[in-house]
Amino acid sequence: MPETKNNRRVRFTRSALREALIDLILEKPLVSITVKDICARADINRSTFYLHFKDVTDILRTTEDEIIEHMREHTPTHKRKFRDCLLYTSDAADD
């Protein structure tokens, strides 16, 4: 997708499609989920789906990549906070 990636409507549409996919994965096997199912759940036209993704595999891979990136961005912060908490607890125990 070109430069419109940060457009609010684009973010909303992609989010609705992602949430629909996740909901459907919780209900039935991935192999039985179709683009039509995702669009119906997200209340979005199939043509709009195809503006953003090629197929179910594409939205699945994109969603997985976004989750992994989110975890990478936030994990170091949590590790640092946990380490600082342990150091503080250790220092307090020494007193």
pLDDT of amino acid 3: 45
d(CA 58, CA 35): 11
- pLDDT of 2 > 50? The answer is no
8 three-class SS:
helix
Confidence category of residue 53, pLDDT binned at 50, 70, 90: very high
Give me the mean pLDDT over the 27-56 stretch: 97
pTM: 0.71
Q: Which helix (H) or strand (E) holds 68?
A: helix 56-94
